[in-house]
Chains A and B, each alone.
Chain A
């Protein structure tokens, strides 16, 4: 991994169209600004990993479920929620 030391207000260019700016730092937080083309997806890693895990589980679930047995969906109702506004 490439490790660079930067000060608040300084930037890093990644390739020609990606810029990472150090906006501010405090005791245990860094505020980072990212300029990237819209097709570059940017996620907080912990969220991305959770969503990835959830998708993998869904694929596994579909593999192991007996798709036809789901018609046993009687006596059960959809957990319809009033929208929270």
Chain B
């Protein structure tokens, strides 16, 4: 399969790496197929829509931030990241994590009832 976007250019991939999001992503419920790429520097992941390749969600794994973050068996929680040029302004949405099952290639965006997890948690702090 092949997709093309401004940000990533042409990406060619095997159908076996396609993730199915049955319910899409909040606000993007009609997008049900994505690929997950690791960023060049290995910090972020990019969840790229196959149906609309210009739609890309930057993701960051939640586990390194919160060890006891709510689990779902077989799935790894990721937060959607709001990027910014100023690194200290980069935030991660911990209120509605994207759970991804890398083995069975499926995922969904959940909403946690727990109000201790912020929608805009600062991902980085200056050393």
Across-interface contacts of B80 in A (CB, < 8 A):
54-55, 58
Q: Which label, helix, strand, loop or mixed, suits the secondary structure of the B interface?
A: loop
Contacts A43-B111, A70-B41, A70-B44 given; indicate if A54 touches B124 (C-beta within 8 A): no
Given A51-B96, A59-B57, A61-B58: A79 and B43 interface contact (C-beta under 8 Å): no
B87 lies within 8 A of A73 (CB):
yes
**B58: A residues at CB distance < 8 A:** 58, 61-62, 65
A residues adjacent to B (C-beta < 8 A)? 39, 41, 43, 47-48, 50-52, 54-59, 61-65, 67-68, 70-73, 75-81, 83-85
A interface majority secondary structure? helix
Give chain A nearest CB distance to B41 CB in angstroms: 4
Task: Specify which chain B residues have a CB less than 8 angstroms from the CB of A70 in the assembled complex.
Answer: 39, 41, 43-44, 83
Q: Please give the distance in Å from A80's CB to the nearest CB on chain B.
A: 6
Q: List 7 A-B contacts (CB under 8 A).
A: A51-B27, A55-B27, A59-B57, A65-B58, A68-B40, A79-B65, A79-B121
